[in-house]
């Protein structure tokens, strides 16, 4: 939206609507979840890549780690989006969310702390009293 544009990731893997995965999932590139994952979902490329899309019917019950996360369904667990998280109108997240950039549509719900990750080389802002300003917001 503002700032640099990211190139869209190719979604090379799919967990289908009639599929339930029990256990952790590690992926590279892009992953779309239309089914259910009971376990952590992490991008194997670390903080520099990977896109995860949770569709309206998708559900993840566990930790999520990827560079770019798009949520239209449900996540029950902490979310770490190293770059961007997009919360679509029907998104439901129960857990703390860490993000560098946030796009939240009307209707999306987060039951947890929203914690901004400052960009590299940028110091955390200070309050007028000199004490560090909290970077988290409780959103419900």
117-135 pLDDT, tens digit per residue, is 998 755 555 544 454 544 5
Domain of 106? 13-139
The answer to whether residue 86 is domain-embedded is: yes
Specify if 5 maps to a domain.
no
6 falls within a domain: no
The pLDDT tens digits for 22-54 are 999 999 999 999 999 999 999 987 667 799 999
In tens, the pLDDT along 67-116 reads 999 999 999 999 999 999 999 999 999 999 999 999 999 999 999 999 99
How far, in Å, are 15, 34, 64, 104 from residue 53 at the CA level? 10, 9, 11, 15
Which pTM was predicted?
Answer: 0.79
The model's pLDDT over 50-69, given as tens digits with 9 standing for 90+, comes to 999 999 999 999 999 999 99
3-class SS of residue 79: strand
Residue 79's Cβ-side half-sphere holds a number of Cα atoms within 13 Å equal to 36
Compute the Cα dihedral for 89, 92, 96, 98 and give only its sign.
negative
- Domain-embedded: residue 8: no
- Is residue 4 in a domain? no
How far apart (Å, rounded) are the C-alpha atoms in residues 115 and 117?
6
21 found inside a domain: yes
Output the pLDDT for position 16: 94
Nearest one of 57, 138, 73, 71 to 103, comparing CA atoms: 71
68 in Cβ contact with 84 (< 8 Å)? yes
Cα angle, residue 102 at apex, residues 100 and 105 outer, rounded to 5°: 170
In a domain? residue 7: no
User: Is 54 buried (19+), middle (13-18) or exposed (0-12) by CB count in 10 A?
Assistant: buried
Nearest CA to 91 among 38, 119, 122, 53? 53
- Structurally, the chain folds into a number of domains equal to 1
**Domain-located, residue 62:** yes
């Amino acid at each position: 939206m503002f700032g640099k544009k990211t190139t869209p990731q190719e979604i090379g893997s799919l967990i289908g609507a009639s599929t339930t995965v029990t256990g952790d999932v590690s992926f590279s590139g892009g992953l779309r979840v239309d089914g259910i994952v009971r376990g952590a979902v992490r991008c194997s490329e670390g903080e520099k890549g990977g896109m995860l899309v949770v569709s309206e019917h998708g559900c993840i019950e566990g930790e999520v780690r990827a560079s770019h996360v798009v949520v239209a369904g449900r996540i029950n667990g902490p979310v770490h989006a190293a770059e961007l998280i997009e919360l679509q109108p029907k998104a439901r997240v129960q857990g703390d969310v860490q993000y560098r950039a946030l796009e939240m549509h009307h209707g999306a719900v987060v039951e947890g702390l929203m914690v901004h990750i400052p960009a590299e080389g940028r110091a955390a802002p200070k309050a007028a009293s000199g004490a560090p300003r909290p970077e988290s917001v409780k959103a419900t």
